[in-house]
Structure 1
């Protein structure tokens, strides 16, 4: 699990990323590399740190062939790719930061781009981090990741006129009676056209799963940054109830993972088949009225 940080790639990319497909799937929170400096400076054991992962979401995408799939290499506790680069907590560092800072609600909750808290609200670091660490992590992983997403999506749009990013996550089982098992986020209609959301929702409902839109998760930094329907690029965040595929206590896959994996593969196949209709400009204009 712990490797030499100098040789650990920031992501794993499979499939054809040259624009031949209109889709891109991303898993920003399934990274399992915990740099030695993180482990040495943390007050938590590795299993406690891993509670912050969207564990094995990347494995749910393994059956997808051809279409590009990009999965994070580094653990979310080290750097959260679904936060804006400036979402930093200056109080976590031993000196002034040389990068822009925005203390958002997520930062105040301990969940900035360099998180203060892991799962169950546990403090990650035993001491202040070096001030230089913020700029180093952002330059080494965060910027290249989002630049790569932008490049793949731009190539797809160039070839197809439109493109779709599906940002894949997992969530703890929501509370309440008959809670959703799948939550789709399009930033309340701002990051993807309605027909795309309707097709994805219908797909998961056909599997018998309860589906909600934008509550409790409406989409994070990735969806907001890359989803620009007016420019031909759409983005949808998918949150999958971990209980559907994972033992959340031991963080191991169970038999349900095969069904979720099949559902994700079938979703890609359906979107590819329907993409000429789903991405038609006239349809978007009608749906927006």
Structure 2
């Protein structure tokens, strides 16, 4: 398994990001599936921790802990896995490049910044204002330059790498299937596809599959993933409460051969959420996910052959 990383440059996180993300490459590329784990980063820069009014444990509430590790064995199926090392609380890759809350910054944001999205209003923009149950992250405002630097040096390179992996799959196999890998707390959330309000009610679903209500992915791949998960006995929902964020919406272009499916995993299946530690179900779940990705990969190979033959 080969590993390639992003160009660190003058990373705002400092040398602690070394590199800020990496691609786990298979020995041989044989699948049109691309795995992305944008929220499992767990390297918290010391400067970031000093600027926060919360401790590290509180900041980690928004982290999709160990999701990259759950999916890593699937690289052996002949597909790449892209994963971030920096945490979601530092910069959220599942947002537009410039969804920013002006209340967070010292100085005027550029005119092109989206300051009015629902996600910004909820404190969950590209640079989040809150974590968990609406706890404010920062003790004081940051400079506009710092915010824009994070975007330039982290968000843009990650998405450039993801775009290249998808283009490579399209060239090689006639289509690309992005599986965007996430986790959800075992306590559910209310609201829409991007909720901001927490409640204590237990999540009934083990998995939520998001395809932007049928617009980001061919039904075939969603059906295959759901069928495999149900075969293992998991409870599966579609698009409620997570239909997919910026990544699914931005890259999902089924008509152009690029499909994007978001998978949300109930953290209670594989980890101790309070201690942020792997639980006894981790290995079994990882094996099941390997089978799910394999089934999607087989379906992609069949669809890709049909697409290339038609051309």
Same fold (TM over 0.5): yes
Change (3 A) 1:120 1:39: same
Change (3 A) 1:177 1:249: closer
Alignment of 1:105 with 2:111, yes or no, is no
User: Where in structure 2 are there 5+ consecutive unaligned residues?
Assistant: 1-12, 189-199
Higher mean alpha-carbon deviation, 10-19 vs 130-139, is at 10-19
1:23 CA displacement: 0.7
Corresponding residue number in structure 2 for 1:272 = 297
1:91-135 CA-partner distances (Å, limit 9, x unpaired): 100001247221211111000000000122110000001110121
RMSD: 1.9
User: Where in structure 1 are there 5+ consecutive unaligned residues?
Assistant: 283-289
2:147 to 121, 131, 134: 134
Change (3 A) 1:4 1:166: same
Change (3 A) 1:49 1:7: closer
1:166 to 157, 179, 184: 179
* Secondary structure of the structure 2 residue equivalent to 1:61: helix
Change (3 A) 1:159 1:35: same
C-alpha contact 1:186 1:192 (8 A) present in aligned 2: yes
* Secondary structure of the structure 2 residue equivalent to 1:236: strand
Alignment of 1:61 with 2:71, yes or no, is yes
Corresponding residue number in structure 1 for 2:191 = none
Corresponding residue number in structure 1 for 2:157 = 144
C-alpha contact 1:183 1:214 (8 A) present in aligned 2: yes
2:273 to 225, 243, 248: 248
Tell me the distance in 2 between the aligned counterparts of 1:184 and 1:145.
Answer: 23
Corresponding residue number in structure 2 for 1:234 = 259
C-alpha contact 1:19 1:155 (8 A) present in aligned 2: no
C-alpha contact 2:212 2:248 (8 A) present in aligned 1: yes
Tell me the distance in 2 between the aligned counterparts of 1:32 and 1:125.
Answer: 18
Alignment of 1:179 with 2:204, yes or no, is yes
Corresponding residue number in structure 2 for 1:286 = none
Corresponding residue number in structure 2 for 1:216 = 241
1:275 CA displacement: 2.2
2:47 to 28, 33, 37: 37
C-alpha contact 1:157 1:233 (8 A) present in aligned 2: yes
* Secondary structure of the structure 1 residue equivalent to 2:234: coil
Q: Which is strand-richer, 1 or 2? A: 2
Change (3 A) 1:17 1:122: farther
Tell me the distance in 1 between the aligned counterparts of 2:111 and 2:221.
Answer: 37
1:122 to 130, 135, 144: 135
Change (3 A) 1:263 1:158: same
Change (3 A) 1:147 1:21: same
Tell me the distance in 1 between the aligned counterparts of 2:71 and 2:203.
Answer: 26
Alignment TM-score, normalising by the size of structure 1:
0.91
